[in-house]
Amino acid sequence: MDLQLTDRVYLVTGGGRGLGRATADVLVAEGARVVVSGRSQQTLDEAVATLNDGAGREAAVGIVADNAEPDAPARLLAAADEAWGRVDGALISVGGPPKGPVTSITDEQWSAAFASVFLGAVRLAREVGTALPAGGSLGLVLSSSVRAPLPEMAISNGLRPGLAMVAKTLADELGPRGVRVNGLLPGRIATERVAELDASTGDPDAARRTAEASIPLGRYGEPEEFGAVAAFVLSPAASFLTGVMLPVDGGLLRSL
């Protein structure tokens, strides 16, 4: 299938590593160009060099930016305009908040997570979404916690369902302009973040075996598998798909 991505330009937050990087890899391989952002200059430099070398062309630029920074949307849009004079969409990776139960998460942790995980994502979606032309597309990387709570992940369980509703509402608002908004709900994908969560149990191998036993496909997903789905959702090939929260989880979620 031709995803019709040649020469299109996408912003990819958290694009230096993990699910964002995996999506950037697929977008570039399919002919698109990307502005990747993150908090580490070194990680971004390495990602941009690898993306450009692999494509054999200038396919990526990097911008150090934190989603929580109020000027992040404007800076990312300006970088795309300066590099290529257009922007066609964005993947907004919503970072992982601290782990813990409701009974131990402090007010300060809730407030900090709201600013970065919730408000930062809403701001990016609002500002980038309203700047997109007809045919543009937003994808928010959320979590399976949108539909089912995860143990010891109170903040994620509290904030991500709200973000899904914001994305659904924004899809209604931007739809008449021809701009699509969707959410992606990764389950257990073999990223550094998931490895850290497994390690936090004290026995990462046992944690992984237990998690894999709950997944119908019997394994963790690979980042590139998520990237392929995300690239499709962002692409013109998915032109009649909006307002959807799409699990990428090997069947982990048991709800429809």
Report yes or no: 149 and 176 within 8 Å, Cβ to Cβ.
Answer: no
- Is residue 1 in a domain? no
pLDDT in tens, 38-54: 999 999 999 999 999 99
Per-residue pLDDT of the chain (256 residues; tens, 9 = 90+): 899 999 999 999 999 999 999 999 999 999 999 999 999 999 999 999 999 999 999 999 999 999 999 999 999 999 999 999 999 999 999 877 888 999 999 999 999 999 989 999 999 999 999 999 999 999 999 999 999 999 999 999 999 999 999 999 999 999 999 999 999 999 999 998 899 889 988 999 999 999 999 999 999 999 999 999 999 999 999 999 999 999 999 999 998 8
- Is residue 139 in a domain? yes
- Is residue 88 in a domain? yes
- Is residue 256 in a domain? no
- Is residue 252 in a domain? no
In terms of residue numbers, what domain contains 24? 9-247
Q: Could you give the C-alpha distances from 157 to 7, 111, 117, 228, in angstroms and in order? A: 37, 15, 12, 26
pLDDT in tens, 47-85: 999 999 999 999 999 999 999 999 999 999 999 999 999
Q: Where are the alpha helices (DSSP H) in the chain?
A: 18-29, 41-55, 72-84, 107-113, 120-131, 154-174, 192-199, 204-213, 223-234
pTM above 0.85, yes or no: yes
Q: How many domains does the chain have?
A: 1
- Is residue 24 in a domain? yes
Residue 181, domain CATH: 3.40.50.720
